[in-house]
Amino acid sequence: MRINVTSVLVDDQDKALRFYTEVLGFEKRAEVPLGEHRWLTVVSPEQPDGVELLLEPDAHPAARTFKAALHEDGIPFTSFAVDDVEAEHARLIALGVRFTQPPTAMGPVTTAVLDDTCGNLIQIAKIAAPEA
């Protein structure tokens, strides 16, 4: 068994696609019309055949309540791995991304939390290699 798709709930698929591709640097993988919405996925250019991220509409009332509660409490919806949290933070700040937590070292992991403009907080993280 393996994970092939995971999702992030978004308030606007077009806005999400722009943010996740033009700002974060993911690439569009699939776009299938499904009535009012689309099956819209992005992938990491580093792993184009890897896990797809579904930009899933938050149309269900429970989804919006859940997202709002996480956002209000400062809890990231998901986490993305990066090679260098500080460098990625600087790159994204230069593009106008708003962070709710700057790069912060917590033992073997360094994280930062950004606002994806679609109702979610997203964590970027780097886990240090174990010492030999």
Dist. CA 21–CA 28, nearest whole Å: 7
Compute the C-alpha angle 112/61/44, nearest 5°: 35
If pLDDT is split at 50, 70 and 90, which confidence band does 128 have?
confident
CB-based burial label for 121 (10 Å; 0-12, 13-18, 19+) = buried
Tokens of 67: 């997202």
Domains and CATH numbers, the chain: 5-127 (3.10.180.10)
Query: Which H/E stretch holds residue 94?
Result: helix 85-94
pLDDT tens digits along 69-97: 999 999 999 999 999 999 999 999 999 99
Dist. CA 29–CA 87, nearest whole Å: 26
pLDDT tens digits along 1-46: 999 999 999 999 999 999 999 999 999 999 999 999 999 999 999 9
